[in-house]
């Protein structure tokens, strides 16, 4: 859902997916949400609006104080505000039909009552809404269940500060909470991945697999931590951890098992420097490039791939080389037969798209008539007069003998 800073009011959006609600972290139960089409009402939060959150997202049946609905306003608190509350399924969840956010308060916490319906009906999703005249309503979902199962979620994630050097260890810490109604079994898996988005999927790089070696008691939490090796993928990533990634352990909801992403980055495990012997070359020459690669501790980066990049006029070309035991490399840049101009060169860990100039050279040559074959129409015995452009695209003067 996009927060577009416009006063839109209600809009209907047809979705075909499992719904995950950011406010409560809850979603459609797996048994009902597999692949359904539904109309999602997108409420506006620009202008006077109410927002609602339910805590916890999953509640047991038959409790007078099963959880709390927080009703929040985004307007001045100088007056009290009467709010109407609505539950889509009063056989599962009831709320007071109206409440008043008092003067001076921006929100009100309302107790939620869940209903024992006397039938083994599993987990039910209930939609709750708060509305008031002149305000966009607040909407959220929660789950009312009679299933005696755990519900594991990741409530905190941190890691040693990045950039991490590639191929070196980093440490991570997380809190796994159980918001369900039974203790979890021993041995629930936890997976850590590096992702480019906020979802654990097949494109991600798995950085660790961990096993929780204690039960997590209902209503309780455990701290877990470990060390893992930063993979050789320099750049920006999101660290995500997911508890019970394969749904191998039964729990109430599987859509709330992934952590909030933690932005991290990985630095290349070595850097490289390139140089070209000489400053000017004749057209058609192969240009020899040499250099060295080294680790962050200044030791040689032996037997590693190095990308040599050659830049001219916005064109970037790459030549791959491999370092020897002393971290040295050689590469050959073969220009096109007729090209000339000013070139800059550098070397890096492969794939970084670097453009930093480490050395420069010129390929000498002139460009006549802007690269077109000159054509002249002349009569026999006539004298032709005119001009022909001659350009020196290199930075080197062409007045040397
Ligand atoms: Ca029920
Ligand atoms: Ca029931
Ligand atoms: Ca869960
Ligand atoms: Ca991903």
State pLDDT tens for residues 298-328. Answer: 999 999 999 999 999 999 999 999 999 999 9
Q: Which residue has the higher pLDDT, 8 or 117?
A: 117
pLDDT category, 28, cuts 50, 70, 90?
very low
Tell me if residue 352 falls in helix, strand or coil: coil
What are 47's two structure tokens?
A: 């202008």
pLDDT category, 35, cuts 50, 70, 90?
very low
Q: Are residues 74 and 138 in the same domain?
A: yes
Range list of H helices, 19-172: 30-33
Domain termination site, one of 213, 240, 267: 267
Tell me if residue 347 falls in helix, strand or coil: strand
Q: What pLDDT is attached to residue 381?
A: 74
- The CATH number given to whatever domain includes residue 64 is 2.60.40.2030
Decide if 362 is inside a domain. Answer: yes
Q: Is the pLDDT of residue 348 over 70?
A: yes
The neighbourhood of ligand 1, an ion, using CB within 5 A, equals 92, 117, 121, 124
Average pLDDT of the chain?
88
Q: Are residues 93 and 43 in the same domain?
A: yes
Q: Are residues 273 and 397 in the same domain?
A: yes
Distance 122 CA to ligand 3 centre (A): 15
What are 377's two structure tokens?
A: 């129409």
Q: Is the pLDDT of residue 195 over 90?
A: yes
Q: Could you say which ligand is closest to the alpha carbon of residue 195?
A: 4
Q: Are residues 156 and 141 in the same domain?
A: no
Distance 126 CA to ligand 1 centre (A): 10
Domain termination site, one of 145, 167, 200: 145
Decide if 55 is inside a domain. Answer: yes
Distance 208 CA to ligand 4 centre (A): 15
Report the share of the chain in percent with pLDDT over 70.
83
Q: What pLDDT is attached to residue 24?
A: 42
Tell me if residue 205 falls in helix, strand or coil: strand
The domain of 262 spans 152-267
| Cα–Cα distance measured from residue 132 to residue 47, given in angstroms and rounded to the nearest whole number | 13
Q: Are residues 200 and 183 in the same domain?
A: yes
Q: What is the b/e burial string over 190-226, where b = at least 16 CB atoms within 10 angstroms of the residue's CB?
A: bbbbbbeeeebeeebeebeebebeebbebeebbebeb
Q: Is the pLDDT of residue 25 over 80?
A: no
Decide if 199 is inside a domain. Answer: yes
Domain termination site, one of 245, 267, 289: 267
Decide if 4 is inside a domain. Answer: no
Q: What pLDDT is attached to residue 32?
A: 42
Peptide bond into 220 cis (omega under 30): no
- The CATH number given to whatever domain includes residue 294 is 2.60.40.10
Total number of residues shown for the chain: 401
Task: Work out how many domains the chain is built from and give that number.
Answer: 3
Which region among 45-59, 93-107, 143-157, 264-278 has the lowest average model confidence (pLDDT)? Answer: 45-59
Average pLDDT for 275-280: 94
What are 372's two structure tokens?
A: 């077109």
Decide if 3 is inside a domain. Answer: no
Q: Is the pLDDT of residue 156 over 60?
A: yes
Q: Could you say which ligand is closest to the alpha carbon of residue 91?
A: 1
Q: Are residues 225 and 298 in the same domain?
A: no
Distance 276 CA to ligand 4 centre (A): 41
Q: What pLDDT is attached to residue 380?
A: 74
| Cα–Cα distance measured from residue 228 to residue 81, given in angstroms and rounded to the nearest whole number | 52
Q: Is the pLDDT of residue 29 over 50?
A: no
Distance 159 CA to ligand 2 centre (A): 41
Tell how far CA 362 is from the center of its chain: 42
Decide if 233 is inside a domain. Answer: yes
Q: What pLDDT is attached to residue 19?
A: 46
What are 380's two structure tokens?
A: 């026999």
Tell me if residue 370 falls in helix, strand or coil: helix
* Strand arrangement, sheet containing 67-73: 50-55, 67-73, 107-114, 93-94
Q: Are residues 59 and 162 in the same domain?
A: no
Question: What letter would DSSP give residue 30?
Answer: H
Q: Is the pLDDT of residue 230 over 80?
A: yes
Burial (CB count within 10 angstroms: exposed 0-12, middle 13-18, buried 19+), residue 46: middle
Q: Is the pLDDT of residue 33 over 50?
A: no
Q: Are residues 318 and 337 in the same domain?
A: yes
Q: Is the pLDDT of residue 135 over 80?
A: yes
Q: What pLDDT is attached to residue 155?
A: 97
What are 209's two structure tokens?
A: 């697999």
Distance 147 CA to ligand 2 centre (A): 8
Phi-psi region of 112 (alpha: psi -120 to 50; beta: other; left: phi over 0): beta
Q: Are residues 18 and 132 in the same domain?
A: yes
Average pLDDT for 14-37: 46
Q: Are residues 112 and 161 in the same domain?
A: no
Q: Could you say which ligand is closest to the alpha carbon of residue 126?
A: 1
Q: Are residues 219 and 293 in the same domain?
A: no
Decide if 122 is inside a domain. Answer: yes
Residue entry with tokens 């006397």:
118
Q: What pLDDT is attached to residue 197?
A: 97
Q: Is the pLDDT of residue 203 over 70?
A: yes
pTM value?
0.62
**Is residue 41 within 8 Å of residue 10, measured between CB atoms?**
yes
Decide if 2 is inside a domain. Answer: no
Q: Are residues 249 and 213 in the same domain?
A: yes
């Amino acid at each position: 859902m996009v927060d577009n800073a416009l006063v839109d009011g209600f809009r209907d959006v047809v979705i075909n997916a499992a719904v995950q609600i950011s406010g409560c972290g809850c979603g459609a139960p797996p048994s009902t949400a597999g692949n359904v089409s539904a109309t999602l009402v997108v409420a506006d939060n620009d202008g006077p609006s109410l927002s609602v959150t339910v805590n916890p997202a999953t509640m047991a049946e038959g409790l007078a104080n099963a959880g709390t609905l927080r009703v929040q306003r985004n307007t001045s608190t100088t007056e009290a505000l009467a709010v109407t509350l609505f539950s889509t399924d009063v056989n599962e969840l009831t709320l007071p039909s109206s409440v008043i956010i008092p003067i001076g308060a921006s929100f009100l916490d309302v107790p939620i009552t869940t209903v024992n319906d006397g039938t083994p009906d599993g987990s039910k999703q209930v939609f709750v809404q708060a509305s008031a005249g002149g305000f966009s309503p607040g909407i959220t979902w929660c789950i009312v269940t009679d299933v005696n199962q755990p519900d594991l979620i990741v409530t905190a994630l941190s890691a040693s500060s990045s950039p991490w050097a590639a191929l070196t260890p980093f440490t991570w810490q997380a809190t796994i909470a159980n918001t369900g109604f039974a203790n979890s079994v021993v041995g629930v898996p936890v997976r850590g991945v590096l992702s480019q988005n906020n979802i654990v999927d097949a494109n991600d790089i798995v950085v660790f697999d961990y096993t929780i070696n204690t039960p997590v008691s209902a209503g309780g939490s455990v701290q877990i931590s470990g060390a893992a090796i930063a993979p050789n993928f320099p750049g920006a990533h999101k660290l995500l951890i997911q508890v019970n990634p394969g749904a191998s352990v039964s729990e109430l909801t599987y859509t709330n098992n992934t952590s909030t992403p933690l932005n991290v980055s990985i630095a290349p495990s070595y850097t490289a420097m390139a140089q070209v012997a000489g400053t000017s070359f004749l057209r058609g020459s192969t240009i020899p490039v040499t250099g060295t690669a080294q680790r962050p501790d200044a030791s040689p980066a032996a037997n590693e791939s190095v990308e040599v990049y050659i830049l001219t006029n916005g064109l970037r070309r790459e030549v791959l080389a491999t370092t020897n035991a002393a971290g040295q490399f050689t590469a050959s840049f073969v220009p096109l037969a007729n090209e000339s101009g000013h070139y800059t060169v550098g070397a890096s860990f492969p794939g970084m798209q670097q453009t930093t100039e480490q050395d420069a050279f010129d390929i000498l040559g002139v460009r006549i008539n802007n690269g077109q074959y000159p054509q002249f129409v002349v009569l026999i015995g006539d004298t032709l007069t005119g001009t022909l452009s001659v350009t020196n695209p290199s930075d080197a003067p062409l007045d040397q003998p």
